[in-house]
């Protein structure tokens, strides 16, 4: 896939769209999250798409583009949504998303809905796959700046993480789906030569060509996984299919800090192919977290006096924010060689989900032990079961 060479910076991109680059660069966010302000040149206010991280300087930069009439979210991942509540409180603008849990003073978005705001018409295009709630925004009347006022409109599409400006997106189970992602790419290809304004990375030309190219790349990756599975089954004796083993074969040269993302994609591809997977990977034994200790309290534990309790069903984001659970989980990631930025898109998912995603490296016993330790360290105990008094 051709990598665009233009620099990714804040500034006006098209007749109707200005990019405000968020200060959160990383392996999963590239140069940072692209927050977009949609507005007609004659409008005094705009529509903010994906406010990004809750950062003071970023909020000031976004607010500097005029009144905020509406806030739209492409999907739930925190690198796109974290500042939505704060921006809404500061401006009074409602927040709309496919997932009603992320809406503020407004109804959930509906596919094919048309929004009239800031002198523009915004069409909602359902594009699930990266996540179940992923959506794109089509601006039919948009055009390149260099075309001038009499230039023919080619339109633009704000694609969130469905299409990135560089590389391919992660499809993470259980929320993501390869099948839905293929369908979404086919839907986007119908919009012709519209400009692509991705959630991360540079603007791209010709949405149809980009969507077809992404479809081809993902199909090639799927075939590579299928080929590895076939080789495993035909070997003598047959080799066990695990996410880790298939990832070793398909992504052998991938940097270690992106390994977890690759394994999430492999897991989704195996599920799409209907390949049964039984993990043969050894369980993690993280520093300070020993799975062999007693773990009778499975999803709840004695609660420390200074922290809200966390459980196996608490989100990964809640765990990372927890004063006792955060260090434990970060220690776990550190030993596994997983960059915290890589798992940021999973912040909304329950910690329990990582048992499935890790294909055996994070065991249920270890999750139970994390719950017990996180909820007992706050009361000054050593994390072992306490007697009721």
For 270-281, how does the pLDDT look when each residue is reduced to its tens digit (9 = 90+)?
999 999 875 433
What pLDDT does 294 receive?
27
Nearest CA to 132 out of 160, 157, 106, 154 is that of 160
Cis peptide bond N-terminal to 20, omega within 30: no
Same domain assignment for residues 31 and 129: yes
Number of domains making up the chain: 2
Same domain assignment for residues 196 and 335: no
Q: Residue 227, SS3?
A: helix
Is the pLDDT assigned to residue 369 strictly greater than 90?
A: no
Same domain assignment for residues 182 and 75: yes
Same domain assignment for residues 212 and 294: no
In tens, the pLDDT along 9-53 reads 889 999 999 999 999 998 888 999 999 999 999 999 999 999 999
Burial class (CB in 10 A: 0-12, 13-18, 19+), 329: buried
pTM of the model: 0.73
User: How far is 32 from 52, CA to CA, in rounded Å?
Assistant: 9
User: How far is 142 from 151, CA to CA, in rounded Å?
Assistant: 10
What pLDDT does 345 receive?
63
The pairing of strands 45-49 and 67-72 is parallel
User: How far is 64 from 157, CA to CA, in rounded Å?
Assistant: 23
Per the CB < 8 A criterion, the answer to whether 118 and 91 are in contact is no
Q: Which domain holds residue 134?
A: 11-216
What pLDDT does 383 receive?
41
User: How far is 187 from 189, CA to CA, in rounded Å?
Assistant: 5
Of 196, 216, 236, which residue is a domain's last? 216
First and final CA of the chain: distance in angstroms?
64
Provide the pLDDT confidence category of residue 61 given band limits of 50, 70 and 90. very high
Same domain assignment for residues 200 and 292: no
């Amino acid at each position: 896939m051709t990598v665009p060479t233009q620099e990714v910076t804040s500034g006006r991109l098209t007749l109707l769209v200005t990019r405000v680059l968020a200060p959160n660069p990383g392996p999963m966010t590239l140069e940072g999250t692209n927050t977009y302000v949609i507005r007609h040149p004659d409008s005094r206010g705009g529509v903010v798409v994906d406010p990004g991280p809750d950062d003071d300087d970023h909020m000031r930069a976004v607010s500097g583009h005029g009144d905020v009439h509406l806030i739209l979210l492409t999907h739930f991942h925190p690198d796109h949504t974290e500042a939505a509540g704060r921006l809404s409180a500061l401006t009074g603008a409602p927040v709309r998303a496919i997932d009603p849990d992320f809406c503020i003073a407004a109804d959930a978005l509906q596919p094919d809905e048309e929004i009239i705001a800031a002198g523009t018409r915004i069409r909602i295009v359902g594009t699930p796959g990266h996540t179940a709630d992923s959506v794109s925004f089509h601006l039919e009347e948009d055009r390149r700046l260099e075309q001038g006022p009499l230039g023919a409109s080619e339109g633009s599409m704000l694609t969130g993480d469905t299409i990135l400006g560089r590389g391919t997106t992660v499809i993470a189970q259980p929320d993501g789906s390869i099948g839905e992602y293929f369908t979404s790419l086919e839907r986007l290809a119908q919009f012709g030569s519209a400009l692509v304004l991705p959630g991360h990375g540079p603007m791209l030309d010709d949405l149809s060509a980009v969507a077809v190219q992404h479809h081809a790349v993902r199909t090639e990756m799927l075939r590579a996984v299928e080929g590895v599975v076939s080789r495993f089954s035909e070997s003598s004796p047959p080799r066990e299919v695990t996410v880790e083993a298939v990832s070793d074969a398909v992504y052998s040269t991938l940097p270690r800090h992106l390994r977890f993302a690759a394994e999430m994609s492999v897991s989704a591809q195996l599920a799409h192919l209907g390949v049964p997977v039984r993990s043969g990977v050894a369980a993690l034994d993280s520093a300070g977290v020993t799975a062999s200790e007693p773990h009778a309290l499975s999803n709840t534990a004695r609660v420390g006096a200074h922290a809200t309790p966390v459980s196996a069903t608490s989100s990964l984001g809640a765990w990372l924010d927890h004063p006792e659970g955060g260090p434990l989980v970060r220690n776990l990631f550190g030993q596994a060689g997983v960059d915290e930025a890589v798992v940021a898109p999973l912040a909304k998912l329950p910690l329990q989900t990582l048992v499935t995603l890790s294909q055996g490296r994070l065991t249920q016993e270890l999750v139970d032990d994390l719950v017990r330790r996180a909820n007992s360290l706050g009361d000054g105990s050593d994390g072992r079961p306490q007697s009721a008094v």
